[in-house]
């Protein structure tokens, strides 16, 4: 029998929201619905894959040069707007899964917005602000999984939350629970392996105040063995 070809990973992005207002930082995590095919019942950071509208939503600020360079690294034929679309996907998915709108009201609403969720940002007078995002990791789901993603992990401070829609997290939604937890508390949750790895990386980067020169790890599998490179 011929070996089944591995699924091609889809571009996706995740947002790690950090509350650094107290001495001990906290991070937002959500528990996935038990019926989902991918990581059922696990605690994860909100996120998902790029949608067409993410390529056209106006923004208030751009990603840093360091983030843009790292997002383009080891990506064959990377499109010019890939990093921007990934960052916007992380913001949109976070809203869809948690009700939190990341951005700024300082510039007023965008003059236009793609149909769907981005129209809600426009109605709320919120512009996504990519300048507030820090790229902290990248990971590709190993082969032979029901879903495969090439995921970029962004971190952002809780102060970047400009609005919130109630009632998004329910017993029937993708995330059935969201919690603010310390890094120590997060490690005690039921986490996917990659989430545990990235959590440790983010904790170290928070200790370094998310400085742009800190290493950005890239996780993937080669010949059945996990690899960790630095972008």
Res 2: pLDDT: 47
CA torsion angle for 145, 42, 19, 194 (degrees, to 10)? -30
In this prediction, residue 6 carries a pLDDT of 64
pLDDT means over runs of 10, the chain (231 residues) = 66 96 96 87 94 94 92 78 94 97 94 95 96 96 84 97 93 93 97 95 94 92 89 89
Q: Bridge-partner residues for 139, per DSSP?
A: 151, 219
Q: Residue 1: what pLDDT?
A: 46
pLDDT given at position 157: 97
Q: How far is CA 174 from the centre of its chain?
A: 15
pLDDT the model gives residue 3 = 54
Q: Does the pTM of the predicted model rise above 0.85? A: yes
In three-state form (DSSP H/G/I as H, E/B as E, the rest C), the secondary structure along 42-53 is: CEECCEEECCHH
């Amino acid at each position: 029998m011929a070996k089944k070809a591995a699924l091609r990973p889809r571009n996706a992005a995740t947002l790690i929201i950090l509350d650094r207002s107290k001495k001990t930082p906290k991070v937002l995590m959500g528990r996935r619905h038990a019926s989902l095919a991918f990581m059922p019942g696990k605690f994860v950071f909100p996120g998902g894959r790029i949608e067409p509208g993410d390529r056209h939503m106006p923004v208030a600020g751009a990603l840093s040069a360091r983030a843009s360079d790292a997002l383009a690294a080891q990506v064959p034929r990377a499109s010019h707007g890939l990093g921007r679309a990934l960052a916007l996907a992380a913001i949109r998915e976070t809203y869809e899964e948690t009700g939190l709108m990341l951005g700024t009201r300082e510039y007023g609403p965008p003059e236009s917005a793609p149909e769907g969720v981005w129209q809600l940002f426009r109605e709320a007078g919120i512009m996504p602000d990519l300048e507030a995002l820090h790229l902290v990791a990248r990971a590709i789901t190993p082969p032979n999984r029901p879903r495969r993603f090439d995921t970029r992990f962004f971190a952002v401070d809780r102060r970047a939350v400009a609005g919130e829609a109630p009632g998004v997290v329910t017993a029937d939604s993708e995330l059935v629970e969201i919690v603010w937890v310390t890094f120590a508390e997060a490690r005690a949750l039921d986490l996917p392996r990659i989430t545990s790895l990235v959590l440790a990386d983010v904790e170290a980067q928070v200790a370094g105040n998310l400085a742009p020169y800190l290493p950005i790890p890239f996780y993937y599998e080669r010949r059945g063995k996990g690899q960790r490179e630095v972008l």
